[in-house]
Amino acid sequence: MNAPLAERIRPTTLESYLSQQHLVGPKGSLTSQLGTGMIPSMIFWGPPGTGKTTLANIIASESGRPFYTLSAVDSGVAAVREVIEKAKKSDTLFSTKNPILFIDEIHRFSKSQQDSLLGAVEKGWITLIGATTENPSFEVIPALLSRCQVYVLEPFSREDLEALLKRALNEDEILSQKNVTLKETEAIIRLSGGDARKLLNILELVVLSEKEGKIIITNELVMQKAQKNTVLYDKTGEQHYDIISAFIKSIRGSDPNAAVYWLARMIEGGEDIKFIARRMVILASEDIGMANPNALLLATSTFQAVNTIGYPEARIILSQCAIYLATSPKSNASYKAIGEAQHTVRQTGDLSVPLSIRNAPTKLMKQLGYGKEYEYAHNYEGNFVPHEFLPEEIKGTTFYKPGNNSKENTLKNYLKQLWKDKYDF
């Protein structure tokens, strides 16, 4: 049985690798490291189908190092330790070239699994190369992350994808035997979502589904062939982003029925629990905020609970949270407030902190007026006294503008009572 097209034409050298010139170009980081033979542990972070596994194979091949692979999906701590033991033994034969351990989807490794790698990385028994589609700052434990270089892989450009299509048609042992003309590429590139592996899968599907003779690849032909083979939910491709977008917009639009439907689509497709829960935590603050502060508490609890319980029961907790968020009053006032404040900071630079609210831990600072005339709120009736807390240049600027909902209308009246006409409440 033939290997998939993406595997058959997988590049084996840096020279034949398309894209990621910031890493593999003449002045690229990986190019220079391979040239010196000093290869650190590293993590490749990028969208699906951008060549993370291919780069790991090339590094192992061109450096002449033993190469071990694990997938975080089906490898436990025992499997990690077994590979490390093998690596330690092979390291005695390659004393100047410690083996490479490649871990695909390292973001799916638990803390204990990642902890099991630490000693081997620290002692140099292995050079770790991890691949992840998720932000390693959130998914890789700090101790391991600090010992790795993080390299960001960018989505393939249109030019890269077109070059890949032409390479496949010209160089693949099967497709090169066919009479194929690549007339239009818009549809196949759009359906791939920038994923090179998906692009090649679609190309192979279209070509092999046609009868013998001249094959002209057009947008119409691609849509006709590919749509019949579209899966319900592709958690690593374009639908991944379309469906999470539909889910978030349904909650923001206060439609619990649509929210639960799109949630079900993700659950049935095997979407990562943490991805769904994390997006609800963000939404709880961005789109609900002060209109219902409890939304953030519930979303945070949901994130913790589903990671403890896992599928299939986690679907119930996700559903409860999604319905709660969808039926909560909405406000993006907190989101807009920090955005406007950051814009002001960029425009005005480092404005001085008013002397009255500066810290004064030394006698000299007190003599210079630090903390002078500061009015301690708790010494006044109602635990409030009008004071100036903003820099002189922007005093009176209103960043937080309460939304029009029950909770924030109450806040607005409270703040108006305190600050009178100082701010635009």
> How many other C-beta atoms are found inside a 10 Å radius of the C-beta of residue 169?
18
Average pLDDT over every residue of 190-203: 85
End-to-end CA distance of the chain: 70
**pLDDT beyond 50 at 93:** no
Confidence of residue 231 (pLDDT cuts 50, 70, 90): very low
Contact 226, 202 (CB under 8 A): yes
Average pLDDT over every residue of 220-235: 66
The whole-angstrom separation of Cα 7 and Cα 3 is 6
Report percent pLDDT > 70 for the chain.
94
The whole-angstrom separation of Cα 382 and Cα 371 is 22
Higher-confidence residue: 240 or 40? 40
Least reliable range by pLDDT among 222-226, 258-262, 300-304: 222-226
**pLDDT beyond 60 at 71:** yes
Confidence of residue 288 (pLDDT cuts 50, 70, 90): very high
The residues, ordered by sequence, that sit 6+ positions from 149 with a Cβ below 8 Å of its Cβ are: 29, 40, 41, 42, 43
The whole-angstrom separation of Cα 374 and Cα 46 is 50
Instruction: Give residue-wise pLDDT tens across range 5-58.
Output: 888 988 888 888 888 888 888 888 888 888 888 888 999 998 888 889 999 999
Least reliable range by pLDDT among 9-18, 68-77, 211-220, 325-334: 68-77
The whole-angstrom separation of Cα 90 and Cα 85 is 9
Instruction: Give residue-wise pLDDT tens across range 368-379.
Output: 888 888 889 999
Amino acid (1-letter code) at residue 318 = L
pLDDT at 257: 95
On the question of a cis peptide bond just before residue 312, with omega within 30 degrees of 0, the verdict is: yes
pLDDT at 107: 86
pLDDT at 73: 67
The whole-angstrom separation of Cα 276 and Cα 260 is 12
The dihedral sign for the CA sequence 73, 79, 83, 88? positive
**pLDDT beyond 50 at 410:** yes
**pLDDT beyond 80 at 90:** no
Class of domain 353-419: mainly alpha
- For 297, phi then psi, to 5°, come to -65, -45
Pairing of strands 67-71, 100-104: parallel
Average pLDDT over every residue of 97-108: 86
pLDDT at 22: 87
Higher-confidence residue: 311 or 416? 416
The whole-angstrom separation of Cα 4 and Cα 22 is 28
**Mean pLDDT of the residues in the chain:** 87
From the list 85, 42, 84, the residue with the least C-alpha distance to 60 is: 42
Average pLDDT over every residue of 98-123: 86
Report the DSSP beta bridge partners of residue 104. Answer: 71, 131
Per the document, the length of the chain is 425
Q: Which sequence spans correspond to the domains of the chain? A: 20-152, 158-227, 238-326, 353-419
Contact 361, 315 (CB under 8 A): no
Buried b or exposed e, range 69-87, using 16+ CB within 10 angstroms: bbebeebeeeebeebbeeb
The dihedral sign for the CA sequence 235, 236, 239, 240? positive
Instruction: Give residue-wise pLDDT tens across range 206-218.
Output: 888 877 788 899 9
Higher-confidence residue: 16 or 325? 325
Average pLDDT over every residue of 249-269: 92
The whole-angstrom separation of Cα 399 and Cα 340 is 6
Which overall architecture, per CATH, does domain 20-152 show? 3-Layer(aba) Sandwich (3.40)
Residue 133: exposure state from Cβ atoms within 10 A (0-12, 13-18, ≥19): buried
Domain 158-227 has CATH 1.10.8.60: yes
Tokens for 349, please give them: 């630079």
- For 219, phi then psi, to 5°, come to -60, -40
pLDDT at 19: 82
**pLDDT beyond 70 at 227:** no
pLDDT at 94: 44
**pLDDT beyond 80 at 226:** no
Instruction: Give residue-wise pLDDT tens across range 151-168.
Output: 999 888 889 899 999 999
Which overall architecture, per CATH, does domain 238-326 show? Up-down Bundle (1.20)
